[in-house]
Amino acid sequence: MAYFLELLVNGALVGLMYSLAALGFVLIYKSSGVPNLAQGALVMMAAYAAWAMVDFGLPLWAAVIAAAALMFAFGLLVERVLLRPMVGQPVIMVVMLTLGLEILLRGLVPGLLGAAPKPLDIGIGLAPVIVGDVFMNRAYLVGGVVAVVLIGASMLFFRTRLGTKLRAVSDDHVASWAVGLSVERAIAISWGIAGIAAVGAGVLWGSVQGVDWTLSSLLFPAVAVVILGGIDSIKGVFVGGLAVGILGSVIPGYLDAYAGGSTRDVVTSLIILLTIMIRPYGIFGREDIERI
């Protein structure tokens, strides 16, 4: 029982950290309707940025803020240089473009800053937190808490005036232009915010597994999270993250011994496949409202 609880709790915490990686994906989808396949590379780049700032001599908090500013600016740049010329083109072209960006960043960033894994110490001890007889990974615990805070903040953000405008833009670009909303600016802002969310994910995951290109493979669980939770739902990011994390921890916890390891990836891909077959919009995804 304690073993099960441990798998459950640590899985949930890891799942919340997946949510963090998935958050930017949803933010961008919500405003522009584009599935951003470069989200993994954004997380990786954010981790590299934070590491570089620390390496440069900044204290951690300043490094995080500087990385957030940098990633926000990078998000704006992506919109201006890559996406704006694509206005009026089919979405599939834009999706391919984000995939190209993912591949480019995966090569470019480690190429410039060093491919060897780099430690990113965020001052969290290694000693587990023990509640009852359940051992919780301290880094995961911090990660889970940060994830919940950032997800909550995003939910509040979408109720503000600016957040409402971003949601309007995601609903109908032409109608947005018609009432004076700058669709371009809204998309730029959502990429900027996705960049900031990537800093949260990048720093936490970087501290757990080191900073190198492999961070970009967080794209895979992040995609599972958004497909399960609903591609445009922040609530879905939260619930989907928990589900993917827990299933990806509990099932391998019992099966890996027989299957020779790595059942987690199988679980993750099954989540993606089954969700699409059974409930294509995910748990909280919006279906298109039939016009009356």
* Site of interaction with another protein (CB under 8 A): 87-88, 161, 164-165, 167-168, 171-182, 286, 289-292
Cβ 283 to another protein, closest distance in Å? Answer: 17
Cβ 181 to another protein, closest distance in Å? Answer: 7
| Residues paired with 46 in a beta bridge | none
Cβ 184 to another protein, closest distance in Å? Answer: 9
| Pick 87 or 257: Cβ nearer another protein | 87
State the Cα–Cα distance between residues 247 and 274, nearest whole angstrom: 13
Residue 134: in which H helix or E strand, if any?
strand 134-136
Contact 106, 216 (CB under 8 A): yes
Cβ 238 to another protein, closest distance in Å? Answer: 19
Cβ 175 to another protein, closest distance in Å? Answer: 4
| Pick 180 or 260: Cβ nearer another protein | 180
Cβ 98 to another protein, closest distance in Å? Answer: 20
CB atoms within 10 A of CB 182: 13
State the Cα–Cα distance between residues 229 and 243, nearest whole angstrom: 9
Angle of helix 161-171 relative to helix 2-32, nearest 10 degrees, comes to 70
Q: Supply the DSSP symbol for 180.
A: T
Contact 26, 284 (CB under 8 A): no
State the Cα–Cα distance between residues 243 and 290, nearest whole angstrom: 30
CB atoms within 10 A of CB 164: 12
**The pair of three-digit structure tokens given for residue 184, joined into one six-digit string:** 């371009």
